[in-house]
């Protein structure tokens, strides 16, 4: 089943040239602008339970103000413990070995899903490590992982391709935005 004549139901949704190049970006923007999962989804109000939501960029997990607040308090609890946990996570290491990229990712059946998830977690962690430490090597490592996936990955497939795309999108775009 096709969404529309120019949008296939599978494949071609992630990056690359051609008409499918920005579809994942549009999907994520629609999800965020629609409020799921970052706003009071399902909290009622308005006709039929709809809630008017004003989209404020960036639609990512951490704004610059959030990052600045974390950085200012990084030596105080509870921020200190959180930062120490981030540092200890293998996805935050400059020695992290990228698991992908692959041309195809699928959730059902599982095709390179774990590799995609691990690499997107690394992008998010490495970007935050760069922000907190100022060490450019973290930013370069995060960028290298993103660019490898962006230039190799061609399709999301399987019965749950939309869920596969969204599972780690906030990590991918959160890391990229930082």
Mean pLDDT by 10 residues, the chain (178 residues): 35 36 39 38 47 65 90 96 97 98 92 94 96 98 96 91 81 88
The answer to whether 35 touches 51, Cβ cutoff 8 Å, is yes
The residue ranges of every structural domain in the chain are 60-177
Cα atoms in the Cβ-side hemisphere of radius 13 Å centred on 21: 5
How far is residue 98 from each of residues 90, 119, 154, measured CA to CA in Å? 11, 6, 18
End-to-end Cα distance, the chain: 36
Distance CA(6)–CA(161), nearest Å, equals 17
State the pLDDT at residue 111: 93
79 exposed, middle or buried (CB, 10 Å; 0-12, 13-18, 19+)?
middle
State the pLDDT at residue 62: 86
């Amino acid at each position: 089943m096709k969404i529309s004549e120019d949008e296939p139901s599978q494949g071609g949704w992630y990056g690359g040239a051609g008409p499918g190049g920005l579809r994942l970006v549009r999907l994520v923007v629609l999800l965020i602008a629609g409020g799921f999962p970052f706003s009071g989804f399902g909290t009622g109000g308005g006709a039929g339970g709809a809630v008017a939501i004003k989209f404020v960029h960036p639609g990512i997990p951490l704004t610059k103000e959030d990052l600045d607040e974390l950085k200012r308090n990084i030596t105080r609890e509870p921020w200190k413990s959180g930062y120490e946990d981030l540092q200890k996570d293998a996805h935050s290491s400059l020695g992290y070995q990228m698991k992908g990229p692959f041309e195809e990712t699928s959730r059902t059946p599982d095709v390179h899903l774990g590799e995609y998830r691990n690499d997107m977690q690394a992008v998010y962690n490495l970007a935050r490590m760069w922000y907190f430490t100022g060490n450019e090597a973290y930013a370069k490592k995060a960028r290298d992982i993103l660019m490898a996936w962006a230039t190799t990955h061609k399709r999301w497939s399987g019965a749950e391709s939309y869920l596969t795309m969204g599972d780690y999108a906030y990590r991918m775009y959160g890391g990229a935005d930082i």
